[in-house]
Structure 1
Amino acid sequence: MDIRVYIRDQLQAKLVEVNDEIRHYPQPIARCDVQLGGLHEERTRLHEALQWLDRTPGS
C-alpha cells in the first residue's frame, strides 16, 4: 500500500472519530469547557494535515 494512502486513511479515520465525539458531546456545554475546545483544535489540525497532504506532490 502506498504510504500516502495509508496516512490519508489514518487521518480520515481519526477525523471521523473526532467529529463523532463532538457530535455526541454531552449537553449543556459550558463556555470554559477545555475538552471540547481541544476536540475542535484536533479537528482543525486533522483538516490542515489532510489539506497539506493534498497539496504536497507524491513521491
Structure 2
Amino acid sequence: MADWKTSLPIVAKALGKVSEANALLEDWNGRVAEFKKKMAISSRRRPFLLSACKGTAA
C-alpha cells in the first residue's frame, strides 16, 4: 500500500482538488507536530518504561 501523503497530491490533481489537499496536509502536519510536542513534554514528566519480558509476568 502506498503512503497516503504521496498518493494524495496525485489524486487531488486528477480531481481538481489541489488546494483542498494542500490544506489537508498542512492541517495534518500541524496536528502531528502538536502531538509530538505534547508527547515530549509528557515523557519528561513521567518516564515511560516497558518492564515485561517474554515468558514473565509483569
Indicate the TM-score class for this superposition, using the shorter chain for normalisation: 0.3 to 0.5
TM-score, normalisation: structure 2 = 0.44
TM-score, normalisation: structure 1 = 0.44
RCO (CA 8 Å, sep 6+): is it higher in 1 or 2?
1
Larger radius of gyration: 2
